[in-house]
Amino acid sequence: MNSPHTPLHVFRFHISFRRASGGGGQVEVCGGAFSECTGLEATMEPKVIKAGGANYGAAQRAGQVSFATVVLKRGMTSTRDLFNWFQMVAGGAYAYRLSAEIAMRDSAGETVVTWGLDQCLPVKFKAADLNAKGTEIGIEELHLAHEGLRLLGGGA
């Protein structure tokens, strides 16, 4: 059994996309293994308050939080679920938002940490580069804007 202080390997993760159902729950729309996930970050811009008579420095207060664009990469397959979502939103269904869960797993395959992304909106889709001389696997990318990053927990 691993200690809670043991660093996690970053190559074991699974991503699932969910849509709110009418009954208050969530229904998984699609999911899969991705080769790369970047942009899990939130930045808070502090508010600086300068008070008269306080000569030693300004007070720092919490400000607005912004979220980075999350970039997902995976080997291209014959499934078109991610492109179909992007195409639907680009075609006018801009309110079709999904939530995403990124589950990090330990070496035994158990979920240890799960990150949640709220109200995801696909803002860019990139198909694999085609090259007749190449021998590597085609990688597709999906870029997501979202309205919240949460740490949902996990196994332990």
Distance CA 16, CA 100 (A): 6
Residues 33, 74 contacting (CB under 8 angstroms): yes
Looking at the domain assignment, is residue 1 inside a domain? no
DSSP 4-71: TTSPPPTT-EEEEEEEE-TTSSEEEEEEE--SEEE---EEE-PEEEPPTT--S--EEE---EEEPPEE
Question: Residue 7 falls within a domain, yes or no?
Answer: no
Total of domains in the chain:
1
145 lies in a domain? yes
pTM of the predicted structure, to 2 decimals: 0.80
Q: What angle do CA 91, 102, 152 make, to 5 degrees?
A: 115
Q: Report the amino acid identity of residue 77.
A: T
Separation between Cα atoms, residue 102 and residue 37, nearest integer Å: 9
- Expressed as residue numbers, the domain containing 63 is 13-153
| Coil, strand or helix at 109 | coil
According to the model, what pLDDT value does residue 156 have? 47
Task: Split the chain (156 residues) into runs of 10 and give each run's mean pLDDT.
Answer: 63 83 66 85 93 83 95 83 88 87 86 92 91 85 94 66
What CATH number does residue 104 fall under? 2.30.110
Distance CA 93, CA 90 (A): 7
Check if the beta carbon of residue 46 is closer than 8 Å to that of residue 63: yes
